[in-house]
Structure 1
Amino acid sequence: MVSADDLTIDPDELRSGLSGTTVLDVRWRLGGRPGREDYADGHIPGAVFIDLDTELAGEPGQNGRHPLPDPVKLQEALRAKGISQHTPVVVYDAKDGQAAARAWWILRWAGHRDTRVLDGGLEGWTARQHPVTTDVPNPTRGDIEVKPGSLPTLTADDAARLARQGTLIDARVGPRFRGEVEPVDPVAGHIPGAVNRPTTENTTADGRLRDAPTLRHEFAQEGVDDGAPVGAYCGSGVTAAHTVLALHRAGRTDAALYVGSWSDWVTDPSRPVATGA
């Protein structure tokens, strides 16, 4: 049922094993229509909505806009969604996997190894003529035990050090990286020493994660070296989770996520800010 690299799943594969899988709808966008409304309009049968802002992140503040959730609260939220320790989980969003990757990362960070991203999201699902529904399921309470720390994270100091000693990837679009615009956070620019690779480069036009050889080649061009540490950040630790997903496919399962990302970095005015390419 699952794809060979244990990270993503094809819509047809999910359809064939839907009854034995817990499916989470994690549609989200930065501003605009809430994902919960999209879910109400139609979703994969049996899928349960999970809120990225309130259930897959802690309270915004000094640690950024989407800091790590409290493990106790996360466990309660995941159990309420029907997630059990030994049941496969598939997460999806509208198309490109950027929001779904945050759910993937949080679940794997929490110790749930059998979590995958639906390749192409809901758009890929409906393109195969698979059904959607407006019925809201009442999932049986799960028994997942959250074990935080199962994936590596970076603090601000870690990120600064990694930018000097390895490769720190900034997953935001180029103008934000260069400091030309900053629509969300109070300071524009990037962490000194970081390299820019927008998350959109990880996927094909139909929103599917690129193949391993392509990703390995492209990450190598950005300076990713098998012998040096690698990590990623973005605005608030959402889209950078997709870069970590792509790095996993490229073979770098040690890739670390700076969860607080730029929204955490700029809370301390003593931290340096770089602009330009």
Structure 2
Amino acid sequence: MTGRVTTTVAELSELLGSEQPPALLDVRWALGDPHGRDHYADGHIPGAVYVDLDTELAASPSPEGGRHPLPDFTGLQESARRWGIGDGRRVVVYDDLGNTAAARAWWLLRYAGVTEVTLLDGALGAWRTAGLPLESGVPTDPAPGDITLRPGALPVTDADGAAELAVSGLLLDARAGERYRGEVEPVDPRAGHIPGAVSAPTGKNLAADGTFLAPELLRKRFEERGADPATRIGVYCGSGVTAAHQIAALEIAGFEATLFPGSWSAWSADPARPAATGDRP
């Protein structure tokens, strides 16, 4: 990957007042909460465009593709142009959940060849803490952009590839520990984890204030789980959303990683795929 992963609140505030402000995307989404657009309307960073994760950043769910398959990129390009993204224009993305949802847009745009896209470090919470203004309502769409998306700039894998990475590389499970261990499973067909996968919950990528941990701390975190420059790394989660956040954290730490978009939602829907439980890979 190339380019920075994050933009600070101070940097974004300055950029929004410049002659060339970035396209600003609000990806308000959380598992089990279908009211992202309402939350956006209640208050968002001025100039931000609402992005619907379920309909714009994913295709329709299926057993083979999981709950959030990668979207059709013709449709994603139309959406990106509606968001005001033009070729060469900087993009900043945020949510209200530590960027665990916004990272899906960050990863998709990177995958589609957009290099100047970053996450607002600390997400909306950092903007609020800084005492910066919010606006309410749903504004009109910005002037359309002319971005051309070219998918394939980042690596992806399927279930077979994930199984192979768990044996010959390092496969990280970005879900909460209780889901990895198989103690609970709120949404997917079976509980447990891909055999050989190592637990690395996404929430542990963040400091108490919701910003990413410092690069050296993230590097130590992933090295303790088996990451090193010579090891191929893959990441999955429930449906390929928070795994993108893990890939962002890995990049900050100096590692490249492959996304398994179908993640546990696709793996667990296939009865031929084994499921491990407990706290060991």
Q: In which range does the TM-score fall when normalised by the shorter chain?
A: over 0.9
- 1:160-213 per-residue CA deviation (whole Å, 9 max, x = no partner) reads 000001110001111110111101001001000000010000000111011111
Q: Where does structure 1 lack aligned partners over 5 or more consecutive residues?
A: none
TM-score by length of 1: 0.96
Equivalent residue number for residue 109 of structure 2: 107
TM-score by length of 2: 0.95
Q: Which amino acid is 1:93 matched to?
A: D
- From 251, 254, 265, the counterpart of 2:254: 251
- From 8, 11, 22, the counterpart of 1:10: 8
Shift >2 Å, 4+ stretches: none
Equivalent residue number for residue 183 of structure 2: 180
Equivalent residue number for residue 150 of structure 2: 147
CA distance in 1, matches of 2:228, 2:194: 19
- 1:113-145 per-residue CA deviation (whole Å, 9 max, x = no partner) reads 100000111111011111111251431111111
CA distance in 2, matches of 1:215, 1:63: 30
Equivalent residue number for residue 205 of structure 1: 208
CA distance in 2, matches of 1:157, 1:272: 12
Whether 1:89 and 2:87 are equivalent positions in the alignment is no
CA distance in 1, matches of 2:166, 2:239: 18
CA distance in 1, matches of 2:134, 2:6: 20
CA distance in 2, matches of 1:99, 1:33: 13
Where does 1:113-262 land on structure 2 (aligned, <5 Å)?
Answer: 113-135=115-137, 136-252=139-255, 254-262=256-264
- 1:217-276 per-residue CA deviation (whole Å, 9 max, x = no partner) reads 110000112111001100000111100000000111x31111110011122211111111
Residues 47 and 137, structure 1, Cα contact 8 Å, conserved in 2: no
CA distance in 1, matches of 2:259, 2:122: 23
Residues 240 and 261, structure 2, Cα contact 8 Å, conserved in 1: yes
Residues 112 and 149, structure 2, Cα contact 8 Å, conserved in 1: yes
- Percent identity among equivalent residues? 53
- 1:88-116 per-residue CA deviation (whole Å, 9 max, x = no partner) reads 00000014110111110011011111000
Alpha-carbon offset, residue 33 of structure 1 = 4.8
Alpha-carbon offset, residue 154 of structure 1 = 1.2
CA distance in 1, matches of 2:269, 2:151: 25
CA distance in 1, matches of 2:162, 2:97: 29
